[in-house]
Structures are given as structure tokens and as C-alpha cells.
Chains A and B, each alone.
Chain A
């Protein structure tokens, strides 16, 4: 049986365009899953993971258009790319309720550094991660490959 985290990673591979190894390599998968658990009503994360796993790939558009799953899906993308949680829209909260963790916030210092935005931009995490004097003249690993 596929674990929750595996389902979450499978979905995230689809949502981000990055590989399993890259996503797990950030060290943030469990923390992001926890962020979802803290905000969504009980059982809803598992429902979402099951729903997404049941869909054929390339149906992201359908998920994004869903009033229930669209905002959550967009938030997962932002989690991976920016390492931050974005408060869900009022229309979503009106239906599903509000939890204290559902506020705009950066998950952690590590998540900021682990953001895929840096990889995608071919940049080092600004002002955050030690890299050695003059490193700005060297392309980051992922950008170079």
C-alpha cells in the first residue's frame, strides 16, 4: 500500500514538474504534508490524496478548476516553490472552515532555502544559504545541468 507521503510526492511531482529525488531531497516533504494537515479539516488531506491518485495524470486542470481542491492545489505548488503557506480564500473558508494555521507564513528557514523557485530561476537562495565567497559567479548545480 502506498504511504501518505508517497501519494503526496506523486501528486507533487505532477504539480511542480520536479522529480521525486529532487522533491524528497529538499527534506521538506513531511513538513509540507504536516502544513496541510494543520489547515484542512480532519480527513480532508487523505481524501484529496486519494482523489488525486485516482485521477489519470494530466488532469491537473480539472483539479485546479475545482472549487474545493483548486485553492489547496495552488497552495501546494506555492509550498514547494516558495516554502510558504498562503491563507486560503474566504470563499473556501466559508465552506470548509478556518484553522489557526491558515495564515500567510513562511514554513521555516529551511523551507525558504529549499524553495524550488531558486532552482527554477537558476539562483542561490538570496541571503540565506552559505555558499562561499565569490560563489555568485558559479551557476547553481541544477541550473548548470
Chain B
């Protein structure tokens, strides 16, 4: 979907102050990040030497989610906010709950399987609320791990990720009408540009005005769901939803294909060639003092350090993103080591990274 003003533009947007805009953008960063652990877990659960097509599709998608995270950081920095990936609760306690229209659904850190691909399709599914009233849905009592909800009211969740960004876009327009270009008062040296973010699944957009802000939001939404209802984004790249769908349908899309009907080469997917990892693993699932527990703690410590590194990069030192790349490969090696290891005492269930970072953050934040 696109972010042009739609529905009745006269209604009051949910974002009418800068603080509300910051809260929405903080929440957007959390949302973009929240898809990364499930995608990475599925990706690295694939057994070495198998499923090269699926591996590639997942890898490209997760790289684009990192682009989205950086685009939101640029947006937040442009309007004078401060991206912070180290705040308590930034990483959800999985399963997380994402919106999918009338209902929300559970997103888990799980092995590569038909079921996890089904969840990924739901994450990326294009959905537009049928009317203005349905854009915010009352999901009942607040719960941990609910994403895409209205900041300050965890009970109200947007109809879809697209609608959530639509609200941010409305807020940007509203505040721009109010404040003029003074809205974009952020320090331009905090913007991440292509010199520090490249080969990252699309061009990074430095944000300095309303137009570039819109371009950043459009890129995020189109890469997930496609442009204007099509299967490709405006850069001609297949949207995430349709990339994942290829694996389920067993065929690649090619030019001129219509949605749900890929007619390209066949894809072989070996659904069994993935390690049988513990779904939504927690440190408590591992015997205390076991080597696996130590490896899981080591990963969490590295991951907390990585989020801290990103926070510093987005906080005015974009050159640190070059170090972050090296760090990512280290995280990959730590993840695969866990995934390849059975949990002692549990026959046939392997370990997985737990992404429980808040406990360890204090020790590594600089």
C-alpha cells in the first residue's frame, strides 16, 4: 500500500505532538527489529548444504528488515528524536503478537518449516483497513510482545503494519502543517547514508524533509507488501510477501506474473532439512551450568552489545555500522553453534538463541 492521504483525511490524526511522533517511531523501530530474530532463527536452522533457495530468500529479506530499521532511525533522527535500541523491552519476549487485520497472531522464533513460512507470510501480508473505524482494533487486555499498537495504549493495535505506518505518515503531515520545515530539526550528521549502508537490500534514504520522509516510509511498506497492490516494489524488487510465497508454492515469480500465480522456475524446498530447535527458547530451558547455557548467554551478551553498537551508530556515529557488519557475522556463528547442539536431557530438541538481552545489557552498555 502507499502512504498517500487516504480515507477521510479530516479526522484528527493520532499523532499531534512531537513526543507522540517520537513514541510512534520508537515503536516502529521495535516493530522492524522484532521480525529479525524470527527470520534469523529460521534462516540458521536450515541444515548446512541444503535449501539454498530458501536460505537466499530468507537472507535477503532479513537484510531488508535491517534497512527498514535504519530507515526508521533516519526518520527519528530527522525530527530530533534519539533512537535507542537498548531500552528495556526493546526486544520482545517471544512469541510476539503482530497485527493481521481483524485478529492478531503469534510470531515465534522457530525452525524453518511450512508453519513458520506461514507466519512470515502473515507478517508481510498487504492489508488495508476497510474503513476509518477499523484502523485501530481493540485487542483486549495489554500483553507483552504486542507490536504495532498505539503507544501508551497497548490494548489498541493497528489493523496492519501498513496502517501503523499510515498513521505515522499522517502525523508527519499534520506536524509539518503546524511547524513547517522546523519539524526536520535533527542533526544531519546523524543521518545514515549510502557510504555506511550499502549492499543492504535497497538504497538507504537520508531524511531531511517531508518528501524524503515519505520516500523512507514508502520503501518500508513497499518492500514488505508490494507497491500499489502489485507484487513488486517501486524499485522492481519482489515484495517480501511474494518472496516467501514462492517457497510455499514451489515456484519463482517472474516478470508479468500476477499475484498468487508464479510461473518461473521450480524451487525445491526440503522442509525436513532443518534442525529441530526449541521454539521460543529461553535460558530457563537449558540446564544451568551446561555448555549450551553458556553458549546461549554468550550470544545474548553479544546481541546486547550489538544493539548498543547500533544505538551509538544511529546516535551520530554512522561509521560504526561498518564494524556492525563484522559483528553480525560473529552473531551468525554464535547462533549456528547453538542451533546445531541438542539440549542436554531433551532427546531430539536442539538449542536456539533466546534473545533475552535486557538482563545482560547493563554489563555491556558503554
Contact = CB atoms under 8 A, between A and B. Distances in A.
Interface in A89-138: 108-110, 129-135, 138
Interface residues of B, number: 23
Given A21-B292, A110-B48, A132-B328, A26 B333 contact: no
A47 B334 CA distance: 34
B340 interface: yes
Contacts of B294: 21
A130 B329 CA distance: 7
A64 interface: no
B291 A21 contact: yes
A41 interface: no
Nearest to A138: B326
A141 B336 contact: no
Interface string A18-31: 01111011111000
Interface residues of A, number: 21
Contact of B340 (A25, A108, A141): A25
Contacts of B337: 21-22, 25
Q: Which of B49, B292, B294, B328 has the most CB of A within 10 A?
A: B49
Contact of A24 (B47, B328, B340): B340
By Cβ-Cβ distance, the 5 closest A-B pairs, closest first, are A25-B337, A132-B325, A132-B326, A21-B291, A110-B48
Interface of B: 47-49, 291-292, 294-295, 322-323, 325-330, 333-334, 336-338, 340-342
27 contacts: A19-B291, A20-B291, A21-B291, A21-B294, A21-B295, A21-B337, A24-B340, A25-B338, A25-B340, A25-B341, A26-B340, A27-B47, A27-B336, A27-B340, A28-B48, A108-B48, A109-B49, A129-B329, A130-B329, A131-B326, A131-B329, A132-B325, A132-B327, A133-B326, A134-B322, A134-B323, A141-B333
